[in-house]
Structure 1
């Protein structure tokens, strides 16, 4: 139809469900360096009985003749270990470990690694100095558990988006503080950076709060056969290099996610994800790697290569509309099929229902607050059974309503948030809060200790 659209008319189609804001989203900082300077630091940590081990490697640019002094300070400013040179190991007796929020009465303990460079140049002596927060902790995965510092960890948290009604995707400190206050109120101990790396300030707060992060690349919308070309793979490898380089030193980051909901059942997906995951593990052997799937367990060609199975499912929402009575059977079957096939721990990485705040119906109807709550309750019944076996986490979709492209299925955006886009709670927020604090209370620490730590140490001082 030559006259159906104006001449030159063009619309960019996307294969993801969030609004693709343009422009600069985050602060841009310009800075100068000495002629010889500290370019990068890589830190990895481990524990030997009560001794914390901090392995460091320092990369210097601009010269070959320099000296490096390294000191590790505790939160009181006391030097607990020191060394020299560009590579080494610091040993910290009776180390304070970095624990997640609600897993320990003193979570998120951070040491400070101070690196001082002195170099001799033709123009004289120059120096550079950098301080890096360091959390001493370990991460491991078994056939049915996710371990932090050797203890089983259960993800009870959210998926998010960098999105709000005033600034869109633009970085906003007051909004960030509000969101983290809501996460703590909710009793959430984790979130996934769906579906792209978040601002560095977000990661810094996660380190200081003890909020565990599944750090996801912008590998979203990988749906066409062409998406698995060698050109795409090469670009994806470079993207993972950039992500790991930026976020490798954050103790809050416990797992990398290389993609969200790819068509991993397509034939080229097997080689693609095998290569991508192996590359990510080579970049950082200290963390498990996953991608988030919504493919059938039998057809998924990427699942054999992940360390943790992350599954998205929307029973009684995108199919069997309104029939919440089928959720328990379908969800239990989902978990059993995935575990029987792969013998790996499983995270329910997305589940939820669109809800218009203030809509009420009894009996529950879709889009009402009662339906969202009822759907979550059905999921929780199965999760409570399977977390005793091999399910190691649940992340609600979504923390807050967010903008999407316009479509008949989206009423001014995606409304699956437990908070509105303005961060006001729907009924499901209170349901989830009760659940998450109950899950937190099942740790070895008494309720009073877990609860009181919310009042200690202002987390907003960076």
Structure 2
């Protein structure tokens, strides 16, 4: 059974669509759902043709209802065990597929991002799969260590910049109740970063342009991304690309079909892209397609270098222009490089103190703009790059060193994010503590600690 699509809601409705291959005609698929301790909570037979299945793919579909559902939620990675079996009509099982499923909903409402119809504020990072010695790639031990560090920070989310990370990373995110913006491997579609290989207009046909052939490959990668990751409850949005030339004349023609494809493949999640700093609301041709705005901004570094007073004013002014669009904003990259061990009493660029000051300034601005529903620092940890004039033995924007030791900025984030997490827990406890009809107080379970 190579294709399984699940759509679980916080109300306990679990939609299933299963593609079958090499299976006798007229087969009915058995489905069972068990809770975390193994109790059977739902079951049934799937034999309804799925009219939304790709042409030529025999698919059965159906819905199960889980009573008294335990919803998957931020900080609460509760999942059920789904078992799908193909019987042969004589009591034997021809094939079996097991999958963990989380029951939750995600949607955008105005300038809010809602999980289970509750507003969320994303705290976290853009992350690379990179480490000392091993270099680029997945390491299971490091992944567990990094997720422990996310908890140390009080983070609740990350973006898989700028490519899909190993599926084991999403398994960990599911288990930990983390929220993930899952990004397609589309980076570098920007003439400013192309070293002269791309024309200023970027999108079109001919030498120096990104055209139909690239668009077709891009669509294939989106299909692969959604097919692999659609059953992970941690994935709350699809990012189509990182920092394209989104104000180019034909950017809309290039990205329009890709956004439409992503919504067809998965209508249950917001679709977005990461906007690069030169492309503002009045010129960006891709922003109208996005449900959620991701803004990569480096005030205090690439803009207003070494002038944090101006940086604060300009960041606040720009965010106000985006907020006027009425969509939720995640500042998906911000920060500054810092060389570990470089210190200045009067913070100067490249010092740990200056990096910390940039993050403190940015946090003040975010707190003053209600449309900002997320903050992802670039980056989680220092990482290797090709040599370059602005690189000092790699990219040093990590708040952790490449071997995961905290710089001064890490402690700034930890204080900020853990205080916000504590406030969210307190708000939840106040809601659970509402008076009961008998005049008492029902405190629920008190919420899950972020420790």
Q: TM-score range by the shorter chain?
A: 0.7 to 0.9
What's the CA shift for 1:446? 5.3
Q: 1:332-411, aligned counterparts within 5 Å?
A: 332-340=316-324, 342-386=325-369, 389-411=370-392
1:254 corresponds to which residue? Answer: 236
* In 2: Cα distance, 1:57 partner to 1:151 partner: 27
* 1:79 and 2:35 aligned: no
* In 2: Cα distance, 1:84 partner to 1:187 partner: 42
Alpha-carbon displacement from aligned partner over 1:225-262 (angstroms, at most 9, x marks no partner):
25531111111111110100000000000000000000
Paired residue total:
404
User: Would the aligned equivalents of 2:103 and 2:233 in 1 still touch at CA under 8 Å?
Assistant: yes
* In 2: Cα distance, 1:184 partner to 1:309 partner: 25
* In 1: Cα distance, 2:4 partner to 2:317 partner: 46
- State the SS of the aligned residue for 2:346: coil
Which of residues 403, 406, 420 in structure 2 aligns to 1:422?
Answer: 403
2:23 corresponds to which residue? Answer: 63
2:105 corresponds to which residue? Answer: 138
2:256 corresponds to which residue? Answer: 274
User: Would the aligned equivalents of 2:303 and 2:311 in 1 still touch at CA under 8 Å?
Assistant: no
Which of residues 310, 323, 333 in structure 2 aligns to 1:326?
Answer: 310
**Structure 1 residues not aligned, in runs of 5+:** 1-37, 102-106, 455-462
* In 2: Cα distance, 1:451 partner to 1:429 partner: 23
Farther-moved stretch of structure 1 (73-82 vs 331-340): 331-340
* In 2: Cα distance, 1:210 partner to 1:232 partner: 35
* 1:233 and 2:215 aligned: yes
Q: 1:209-228, aligned counterparts within 5 Å?
A: 209-223=176-190, 224=198, 225=202, 226-228=208-210
Alpha-carbon displacement from aligned partner over 1:207-239 (angstroms, at most 9, x marks no partner):
000111000000100123255311111111111
* In 2: Cα distance, 1:300 partner to 1:186 partner: 34
User: Would the aligned equivalents of 1:156 and 1:436 in 2 still touch at CA under 8 Å?
Assistant: yes
Q: 1:83-232, aligned counterparts within 5 Å?
A: 83-85=44-46, 86-101=60-75, 107-119=76-88, 127-223=94-190, 224=198, 225=202, 226-232=208-214
- State the SS of the aligned residue for 1:58: strand
Alpha-carbon displacement from aligned partner over 1:163-216 (angstroms, at most 9, x marks no partner):
001211132111111101100111100000000000010010000001110000
In structure 2, relative to structure 1, the CA distance for the partners of 1:231 and 1:317 (3 Å cut) is same
* In 1: Cα distance, 2:3 partner to 2:180 partner: 22
**Structure 2 residues not aligned, in runs of 5+:** 47-59, 191-197, 203-207, 431-444
What's the CA shift for 1:343? 1.8
Alpha-carbon displacement from aligned partner over 1:368-398 (angstroms, at most 9, x marks no partner):
0100011111111111111xx2111000000
1:14 corresponds to which residue? Answer: none
Alpha-carbon displacement from aligned partner over 1:410-448 (angstroms, at most 9, x marks no partner):
011000000000000001111101111111122224599
* In 2: Cα distance, 1:416 partner to 1:297 partner: 27
* In 1: Cα distance, 2:67 partner to 2:101 partner: 15
| C-alpha RMSD of matched pairs (Å) | 1.8
In structure 2, relative to structure 1, the CA distance for the partners of 1:356 and 1:288 (3 Å cut) is same
User: Would the aligned equivalents of 2:108 and 2:291 in 1 still touch at CA under 8 Å?
Assistant: yes
What's the CA shift for 1:451? 6.5
What's the CA shift for 1:296? 2.3
User: Would the aligned equivalents of 2:421 and 2:450 in 1 still touch at CA under 8 Å?
Assistant: no
User: Would the aligned equivalents of 1:67 and 1:119 in 2 still touch at CA under 8 Å?
Assistant: no
Higher relative contact order (CA 8 A, sep 6+): 1
1:53 corresponds to which residue? Answer: 13
* In 2: Cα distance, 1:166 partner to 1:69 partner: 47
- State the SS of the aligned residue for 1:275: helix
* 1:309 and 2:293 aligned: yes
What's the CA shift for 1:450? 5.5
TM-score by length of 2: 0.87
